[in-house]
Amino acid sequence: MINIISASATDVGLRRTNNEDDYLALSERGLFALSDGMGGAAAGEVASRYFIDTVSEVFTNQNHASEELLCALAREAFRLSNQRIISYATEHPHDLGMGCTGELLVFYADRYLIGHVGDSRVYLCRDGNLRQITKDHSLVQLQVDQGLITAEEARRHPMKNIILRALGSNSALSLDIIKGTVRHNDMFLLCSDGLSDMVSNAVIQNTLVSTQTIEYKVQSLIESANSSGGKDNITVILCVVEAA
């Protein structure tokens, strides 16, 4: 059996007047989700809220569920929230183009399951080493995969915010499902690109492996993003695994 300790926070950043990020952190249920909205006016906030509310609704009774059922619940949460966002935009034409990224992390037994769409991220810090588990569904990541640009060039690319997959953009949503086994003291980080675009992996890793409290680490990451310019909303969820 495992126990999950978590801390989370969101910040509007230094350039935005509203926060289009949203998140869910339920340590006692091993359920975490994060979304980063896009669209004019408050449309991004609406899309993010649809995703978070739908995850909470679909995973109401996920305790003791099998891996097969959890996969089915994850697919349903993304499918249903995608449908709801598209329906809302259809009924509100001035919000056409609204959407959001979606990150879902569920712990069960000694395993984890991730659902991923967009360019928000999930990292794993294990034995002091940080690794990005999800792959960005973005134009620049596609160019990196094709060998056209380097990962470092992608960080500074003028089109780095062009997303190829998002909730609300297509009725035929393509979802990444990632599964793995957890170890004692594993740290999982979910974040919006307001963090990953502004803070290097080296700084993130150094923050996570520090001896500070988990709450301090979350606030430190947000402060690092703002110190680097705070160009976007910043949301951070940090989960630590305690294994019996």
Q: Which domains are delineated in the chain?
A: 2-243 (3.60.40.10)
pLDDT tens-digit readout, 180-232:
999 999 999 999 999 999 999 999 999 999 999 999 999 999 999 999 999 99
Place 148 in a pLDDT band, splitting at 50, 70 and 90: confident
Place 115 in a pLDDT band, splitting at 50, 70 and 90: very high
| Residue 30 CA neighbour count, 13 Å, CB half | 22
Place 41 in a pLDDT band, splitting at 50, 70 and 90: low
* Alpha-carbon span 162 to 160, nearest angstrom: 6
Q: What is the pLDDT of residue 62?
A: 76
Q: What is the pLDDT of residue 175?
A: 97
Report the percent of the chain where pLDDT is more than 70. Answer: 99
Q: What is the pLDDT of residue 65?
A: 83
Place 15 in a pLDDT band, splitting at 50, 70 and 90: very high
Q: What tokens does 152 get?
A: 């470092």
Give the residue, 143 or 212, on which the prediction is more confident.
212
Give the residue, 169 or 65, on which the prediction is more confident.
169
Query: Is pLDDT at 37 greater than 90 in this prediction?
Result: yes
Cβ–Cβ < 8 Å for 25, 8:
yes
Of 99, 105, 122, 119, give the one whose Cα is nearest residue 29.
105
Query: Is pLDDT at 35 greater than 70 in this prediction?
Result: yes
pLDDT tens-digit readout, 44-103:
999 999 999 999 999 987 777 899 999 999 999 999 999 999 999 999 988 888 999 999
